[in-house]
């Protein structure tokens, strides 16, 4: 399973208005555990084994929106490390069910509190790691996360486009993907645009645009958007930033499936909406690459459930994009 992580396919989208650009999507949902976080989890565990933070039988704890927990669960199980994950209560049932059946100890905490509050998922995980002497993976600050994307995602994007990539559109959960892949790409061609796709309510896109004094809002998309700048997120790499509403994100997630048969999660809807806006603004042909970050099977009860969408006023019409 470990050998199947990464080297995901790159596909051109033909059924969206991409203006004069070519839009490619890298199918991170094809990783063996269903998301881009396979790369992060493997890199963090390998690095911890190498530097002695992990030894046989030691427990691991992670604060996660779900995907990192699922990837860690698979890898930790293979390697014999017991895992605890701290998950905010807005995360989808499918992810929590999966963690449970993988034998993970799941601790649910509040989504409605922010950094500094003892129930905030990151603070909570850090406290338990100290109390119980667990290895805290800390994907928000652990540089093995950045390294995963600098060593794999970035080079794959460069090789698969034969160096013809003009822009990379990506979200920020921890910043590992943006910083690692973005840094690799900029080192190979400083003219490549790194484009942040951010859920409306997150403070990252406003920060990039120099809008200060904003209060973080809330959003339903999972996995990306933050109310703080993670240590692993190098905002200086970003050339353009787009804030995408939940309505837009959910419509694009559904359209990606109905038009292209790519069943991806809601963060991919944010990335697709931002990528299309970027493409439509260009006056010269460009090759733009974005990601399908995780599998949509994890959101069948939400983005692909008519009742849930209705309840959250997100039903819209997926063909009025």
Ligand X SMILES: Cc1ncc(COP(=O)(O)O)c(C=O)c1O
Residue of 21, 23, 134, 170 interacting with ligand X (CB under 6 A): 170
Residue of 64, 71, 138, 177 interacting with ligand X (CB under 6 A): 177
Mutual orientation of helices 93-101 and 67-79 as an angle, nearest 10°? 10
Task: Map residues 44-73 to x or -, x wherever contact with ligand X holds by CB under 6 A.
Answer: -----------------------x------
Restricted to residues 204-223, the positions that interact with ligand X (CB under 6 A) are 223
Question: What CA–CA distance (Å, rounded) separates 294 from 34?
Answer: 6
Smallest separation (angstroms) from ligand X to the CB of 284: 26
What are the distances in angstroms from CA 17 to CA 192, 264, 279?
A: 21, 19, 8
Task: Give per-residue burial for 88-120: e unless 16+ CB within 10 Å, then b.
Answer: beebbebbbebbeebebebeebebeeeeeeeeb
243 Cβ neighbours under 8 A, 6+ residues apart: 198, 199, 200, 202, 205, 206
Cα–Cα nearest to 85, from 60, 102, 110: 60
Residue of 6, 171, 206, 296 interacting with ligand X (CB under 6 A): 171
What number of CA atoms fall less than 13 Å from residue 261's CA on the CB side? Answer: 0
265 touches ligand X by CB under 6 A: yes
Question: What CA–CA distance (Å, rounded) separates 54 from 124?
Answer: 21
199 touches ligand X by CB under 6 A: no
Give the nearest residue (CB) to ligand X. Answer: 223
173 touches ligand X by CB under 6 A: yes
State the CB neighbour count (10 A cutoff) for residue 287. Answer: 17
Binding piece for ligand X, criterion CB under 6 A, among 10-18, 49-57, 154-162, 176-184:
176-184
Cα–Cα nearest to 88, from 108, 60, 115, 117: 108
Task: Map residues 6-45 to x or -, x wherever contact with ligand X holds by CB under 6 A.
Answer: ------------------------------x---------
Q: Give backbone dihedrals phi and psi of 216, rounded to 5 degrees, phi first.
A: -65, 145
Annotation says 267 is catalytic = yes
Question: What CA–CA distance (Å, rounded) separates 116 from 232?
Answer: 18
296 touches ligand X by CB under 6 A: no
Residue whose CB is less far from ligand X, 206 or 223: 223
Annotation says 302 is catalytic = no
Residue whose CB is less far from ligand X, 147 or 294: 294
In the numeric block, which tokens belong to residue 82?
Answer: 């017991």
Restricted to residues 273-292, the positions that interact with ligand X (CB under 6 A) are 291
Residue recorded with tokens 């905030």: 120
Cα–Cα nearest to 308, from 108, 96, 113, 93: 93
Residue whose CB is less far from ligand X, 69 or 171: 171
Residue recorded with tokens 């030894």: 55
Smallest separation (angstroms) from ligand X to the CB of 182: 10
Smallest separation (angstroms) from ligand X to the CB of 96: 15
Restricted to residues 98-157, the positions that interact with ligand X (CB under 6 A) are none
Q: How far is CA 69 from the centre of its chain?
A: 13
Residue whose CB is less far from ligand X, 182 or 206: 182
Binding piece for ligand X, criterion CB under 6 A, among 17-25, 165-173, 242-250, 309-317:
165-173
Smallest separation (angstroms) from ligand X to the CB of 63: 12
Residue of 38, 62, 166, 294 interacting with ligand X (CB under 6 A): 294
Q: Which residues bind ligand X (CB under 6 A)?
A: 36, 67, 170-178, 223-224, 265, 267, 291, 293-294
Active site residue ranges: 37, 267
């Amino acid at each position: 399973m470990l050998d199947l992580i990464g080297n995901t396919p790159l596909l051109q989208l033909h059924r969206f208005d991409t203006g004069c650009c070519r839009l490619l999507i890298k199918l991170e949902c094809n990783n063996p555990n269903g998301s881009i976080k396979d790369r992060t989890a493997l890199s963090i565990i390998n690095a911890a084994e190498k530097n002695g933070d992990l030894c046989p039988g030691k427990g691991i704890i992670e604060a996660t929106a779900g995907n990192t927990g699922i990837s860690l669960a698979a890898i930790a199980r293979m390697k014999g490390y017991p895992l605890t994950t701290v998950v905010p209560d807005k995360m989808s049932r499918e992810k929590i069910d999966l963690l449970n059946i993988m034998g993970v100890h799941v601790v649910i905490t509040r989504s409605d509190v922010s950094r500094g509050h003892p129930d905030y998922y990151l603070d909570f995980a850090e406290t338990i790691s100290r109390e119980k002497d667990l290895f805290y993976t800390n994907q928000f600050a652990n540089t093995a996360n950045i390294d995963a994307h600098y060593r794999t995602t970035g080079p794959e994007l460069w090789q698969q486009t034969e160096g013809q990539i003009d822009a990379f559109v990506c979200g920020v959960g921890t910043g590992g993907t943006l910083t690692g892949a973005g840094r690799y790409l900029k080192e190979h061609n400083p003219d490549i645009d790194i484009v942040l796709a951010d859920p409306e309510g997150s403070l990252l896109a406003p920060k990039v645009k120099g809008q200060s004094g904003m209060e973080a809002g809330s959003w339903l998309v999972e996995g990306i958007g933050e109310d703080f700048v993670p240590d692993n997120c190098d905002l200086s790499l970003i050339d353009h930033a787009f804030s995408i509403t939940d309505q837009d994100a959910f419509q694009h997630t559904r359209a990606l499936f109905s038009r292209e048969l790519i069943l991806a999660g809601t963060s991919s809807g944010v990335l697709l909406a931002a990528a299309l806006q970027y493409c439509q603004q260009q006056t010269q042909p460009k090759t733009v690459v974005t990601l399908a970050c995780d599998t949509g099977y994890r959101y069948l009860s939400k983005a692909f459930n008519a009742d849930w969408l209705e309840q959250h006023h997100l039903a819209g019409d997926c063909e009025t994009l």
